[in-house]
Each structure stands twice: as C-alpha cells, then as structure tokens.
C-alpha cells in the first residue's frame, strides 16, 4: 500500500511538472510573439515577430531548464550523499 502511494505521488508530481513546463513555454512564446506583432503593425515591418518568437522560445526553454534543474538538484545531491561521493573522507581520483 505504501509503495502505491509513493507511485501516485511521483505520477502527480511528474504531471504537474509537465503542465508547468508547457505553460512556461507557451507564456514566453505567446508574450514575445504578441509584442512582435504589435511592433510590426506599429512600425510597418514584418520581421520583428519572427525575431521575438525565437527569443521567446529561447527564454521559455531556458526557464524550463532552470525549473527542471531546480527540482532534480536536491534528488541528485541526496543520491550522491547516499553513495558517499560528497563525503569529505572519500578521496576523488
């Protein structure tokens, strides 16, 4: 029963992460594209939207990467501590 609870918790955590990553990407791309469309109409150009779309995609990707790293960093640290890699008495070769 305890294992099933842990599995459910992991599943919900993963679903929440995927949803949050999707929203992060869509928001960054959507806002950048909206500003690009507005600027193109205002200035009479046609290239600003494409540039801001790419910048929004890069910003969204970077934000998603940071989010994933922040979530999984404590787990990796815990694994290293359990394996003894971060122990001061263990010498690295």
Domain containing 15: what range? 2-83
- Assess if residue 61 is contained within a domain: yes
In a domain, 23, yes or no: yes
**Half-sphere exposure for 75 (CA within 13 Å, toward CB):** 6
Give the model's pLDDT for residue 1.
58
Per-residue pLDDT of the chain (93 residues), as tens digits, is: 566 767 777 788 888 888 999 999 999 999 999 999 999 999 999 999 999 999 999 999 999 999 888 877 777 777 777 777 655 555 555
Q: Flag whether 6 is in a domain.
A: yes
CA-based angle 18:15:63, to the nearest 5?
25
pTM metric for this prediction: 0.68
Domain count, the chain: 1
């Amino acid at each position: 029963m305890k294992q099933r609870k842990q599995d459910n918790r992991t599943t919900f955590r993963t679903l929440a992460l995927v949803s949050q990553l999707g929203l992060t990407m869509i928001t960054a791309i959507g806002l950048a594209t909206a500003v690009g469309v507005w600027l193109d109409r205002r200035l009479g150009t046609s290239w600003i939207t494409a540039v801001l779309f790419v910048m929004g995609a890069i910003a969204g990707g970077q934000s998603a990467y940071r989010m994933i790293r922040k979530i999984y960093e404590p787990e990796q640290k815990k694994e290293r501590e359990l394996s003894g890699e971060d122990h001061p008495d263990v010498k690295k070769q």
